[in-house]
Amino acid sequence: VIKCKAAVAWEAGKPLSIEEVEVAPPKAHEVRIKIVATAVCHTDAYTLSGADPEGCFPVILGHEGAGIVESVGEGVTKVKKGDTVIPLYIPQCGECKFCKNPKTNLCQKIRITQGKGVMPDGTSRFTCKGKQIYHFMGTSTFSEYTVVADISVAKIDAAAPLDKVCLLGCGISTGYGAAVNTAKVEPGSTCAVFGLGGVGLAVIMGCKIAGASRIIGVDLNKDKYAKAKEFGATECISPQDSKKPIQEVLVEMTDGGVDYSFECIGNVGVMRAALEACHKGWGVSVIVGVAAAGQEISTRPFQLVTGRTWKGTAFGGWKSVDSVPKLVTEYMSKKIKVDEFVTHTLPFDKINEAFELMHSGK
C-alpha cells in the first residue's frame, strides 16, 4: 500500500481537500501509476457541482493525467514498471463488439463498474481516514498515485513532456477528433465553432489541419478571440452583437450556412443554433459539449428533412489505446499544438485555484 497526497471531493459543491490517502496495490489486470501531471476539465467541475447523476462521493476526480507505471497486477502484458503512460477514461479492450466495430470508440467492457466509481471487480483501491473513496471515470488523476484497468492505459513516448501531453487524455483529443474523425471536415469548407475554451480551440486546430478555408469562432467572451485566431479561426463573433439569433447571422455571413458546426459548451440552446447555422442539403453539426442531466435537444424536423445531419462525439472518436500514442507522436513532430493550450501551471495543493481560473474563463 502506498500513502500519498490526493485531492478528495468529500461532498458535492465543496472545494477539494488535500488529504493523505492509501492506494492499494493493483489486482489482476490493473496498473498502478505515479501521476506526474494532471489538468482540470469542466467535466470534473460538473461532477463536483452535484449535477452529475453518476457522481458518487467521496471521490478522487481527474481524468486528464500522465505518469509513470509504478507496478502492474497479474496478467498485465501491455505495460510494465517504468513505462510512460496516459490513463484513458474511454478504454479499449479490443474484444467487445464496440471495439471490433470501426464506427465507434465506445468500449463497453468496464462501463458499468466505471460509472459506479469502482474497479472492474466492484471495489475501490483508495481509502482515506478509514473510508472507501470512489474512483472517477476509471482514472482518478487528482492523486499522486492511482490504479486503473489495464485496458484504460496507453503507453506513450518516454520523451514526451508529461505536463503537456496529459491534455491529450481528454480535451485536445476530443476537439481535434470531432473535426477530423466525426465531422470529417473537408478542404475548402466553412466551419463554425461555438465555445472557444480548450475543446473549441482544439476543434479549430482540427478544422485548420483538415484544410477548412473559413473558420468562424463564436463566444460571448471576446478575450478569447485572439487565442482562437492563433489556432486558426479566420474571424470571431459574439451572439450579443446582433439582435438576430446567431444562426441567422451565420447563415447570412456564409451564403446559406456553414458546412460544419461544432457545439463545444454543453448548452442545448446553442446545440440548436449550431445545427440551424448549417447549410441546407449537406451541413453537419457535431455536439461535443456535454449537457446537464435530463436536458433535451430540439429543432424543427424540417431542418433534418432538408439535408442537415446532427452528430455527437465522445473523445473525438479516437480508439484510445491505439490513438493516444499516435497523437503524442503528432505533437512531438509538431503536427498538432499542445503547449499553446496551457495557460497556468500550479502546484498540486493549489488545485482549487485551478478550478477558479477555469470557472472565470481564464
Average pLDDT of span 229-252:
98
Average pLDDT, the chain: 97
pLDDT at residue 54 in the model: 84
Taking 90 as the threshold, does the pLDDT of residue 57 lie above it? yes
pLDDT at residue 156 in the model: 98
**Which H helix or E strand runs over 99?**
helix 97-100
- pLDDT (tens digit per residue) in 273-307: 999 999 999 999 999 999 988 999 999 999 999 99
Q: Which residues contact 225 (CB under 8 A, 6 or more apart)?
A: 196, 217, 219, 233, 236
Question: 28: phi > 0 → left, psi -120 to 50 → alpha, else beta; which?
Answer: beta
Taking 90 as the threshold, does the pLDDT of residue 115 lie above it? yes
Q: Which residues contact 65 (CB under 8 A, 6 or more apart)?
A: 33, 35, 37, 38, 39, 86, 87, 139, 141, 146, 166, 169
- pLDDT (tens digit per residue) in 179-188: 999 999 999 9
- When pLDDT is cut at 50, 70 and 90, the band that residue 239 belongs to is very high
Average pLDDT of span 333-358:
96
- When pLDDT is cut at 50, 70 and 90, the band that residue 53 belongs to is confident
Amino acid letter, residue 116: K
Q: Which residues contact 143 (CB under 8 A, 6 or more apart)?
A: 4, 5, 6, 7, 21, 23, 35, 60, 62, 126
DSSP-derived letter for residue 143 is B
Taking 90 as the threshold, does the pLDDT of residue 361 lie above it? no
Report the Cα 170 to chain-centroid distance in Å.
3
- pLDDT (tens digit per residue) in 120-169: 999 999 999 999 999 999 999 999 999 999 999 999 999 999 999 999 99
Residue spans of beta strands (DSSP E) within 239-347: 260-263, 284-287, 309-312
Domains defined for the chain, CATH in brackets? 2-169+319-352 (3.90.180.10), 174-314 (3.40.50.720)
The position carrying cell 447523476 is 53
Rounded Cα gap, residues 7 and 15, in angstroms? 9
